[in-house]
Amino acid sequence: MNLATRALFRASSLATAARRAPIVVSPRFAAIRTYASAQRQAGGGGGGMGSTLMVVAASAGAGAIGYHYYLEGTDPANVKQAAGAAAKGVAAAVSGEKDGKKEPIDYQKVYNHIATLLEDENYDDGSYGPVFLRLAWHASGTWDPAAKNGGSHGGTMRFKSESSDSANAGLGIARERLNRTKDKFPEISYGDLWTLAGVCAIQEMGGPTVKWRSGRVDGMEENAPPEGRLPDATRSDPKHYHDVFKRMGFNDQEIVALMGAHSLGRCHKDRSKFDGPWTDSPTVVTNAFYTELLNRHWVERKWDGPKQYEDKESKSLMMLPSDMAMLQDKEFKKWIEIYAKDEQKFTEDFAKAIAKLFELGCTFKENSKVYEFKATNA
């Protein structure tokens, strides 16, 4: 993304925030709006492409059985043989097989479909991008190499034991919306779907190209991680964040780079219990999290919710105890200052760190393809 385009993004977002409009829609999504609306009108409601494909395939299978029965009479063996052949045809149609061979997934098409789901002027600041990224982050950030579970590989947040973790409150919204893509591409695993949605969100919101690999395999509920693996945003001690991230193999620079995701989205009282956005441009990938953290005067908010901070000047932005803890650590603060001064350095490091996060605990085939997706609005 060139500097001129990024400047346009930021100017538009800041202008909208200044008008205090209830919905902040990045112009990055304006190019998508017509296409996404047309998709919804053409597709209608219901179960999506996957459901339609199942009905068509099942109808074809039933027709094959009936035709074979007509030709061969009532011989049960013949009918059974026809039923078996029809069942194989249905399975092949649903799984994407052709001539007995499974068709490879076109992940650029999957990416493009996810991109059509991002914009919605009735949701938050006009985009599902931040919650898609949060889903990918939380699905990945539970990896424990000692226990050998967690991470995005098994897609285990589809089970209640993980989805009910208080840290994952509100992520059902993202999972449900992404089921539209799952319906259209039923052969993709949930781990691949959710992490690809995170990549798509970053790139479509003006962020860097993030390298991604496929191959995650859906696991069973017993593979789900226990509660407490994700960083606890209520903690004010830097050691907690050192411990959590270093368990996953991240150094101080990578930890601070990953925290830059707080440039996006907002907190909700009915989910995390916290409230408000970190920046004035919550649907654009920038280094604003670092500049705001350093340059604004933050005071503890007086309200009936959990401890959080608000900027003294406008009282419109917030920071979490976890964010303020970063300033207390010499090494963390060093990288905050670097990223506040150099947005390009931040986006480069963020792309590498988030790609690493999404692959924690994953096992890929040797020489597996590394994808770099083309943004739909590039």
pLDDT digits 0-9 by tens, 68-110? 444 344 444 444 444 554 444 444 544 455 566 678 999 999 9
Pick from 67, 86, 102: which residue ends a domain?
Answer: 102
Q: In this structure, are 254 and 313 located in the same domain?
A: yes
| C-alpha closest to that of 192 among 354, 374, 373, 362 | 362
Q: Is the pLDDT of residue 49 over 50?
A: no
Number of domains in the chain: 2
**Is residue 68 within 8 Å of residue 87, measured between CB atoms?**
no
Active site residue 212: no
The span from the CA of 47 to the CA of 160, in Å, is: 22
Task: Report residue 374 as tokens.
Answer: 């083309």
Q: In this structure, are 112 and 98 located in the same domain?
A: no
Q: In this structure, are 86 and 161 located in the same domain?
A: no
Banded model confidence at residue 378, pLDDT cuts 50, 70, 90: confident
Domain containing residue 54 = 49-102
The predicted-structure confidence for 290-330, as pLDDT tens digits, reads as follows 999 999 999 999 999 999 999 999 999 999 999 999 999 99
The span from the CA of 245 to the CA of 252, in Å, is: 9
What pLDDT is recorded for position 51? 45
Which of 143, 278, 298, 335 is flagged as catalytic? 278
Q: In this structure, are 293 and 208 located in the same domain?
A: yes
The span from the CA of 310 to the CA of 161, in Å, is: 34
Residue 305's contacts (CB-CB under 8 Å, 6 or more residues apart) are 269, 273, 274, 275
The span from the CA of 338 to the CA of 349, in Å, is: 11
Q: Is the pLDDT of residue 28 over 90?
A: no
The span from the CA of 357 to the CA of 355, in Å, is: 5
The span from the CA of 300 to the CA of 60, in Å, is: 64
Active site residue 138: yes
This model's pTM is above 0.85: no
Which of 113, 137, 138, 262 is flagged as catalytic? 138
What pLDDT is recorded for position 377? 85
Q: In this structure, are 14 and 54 located in the same domain?
A: no
Which amino acid appears at position 356 of this protein? K
Q: In this structure, are 96 and 126 located in the same domain?
A: no
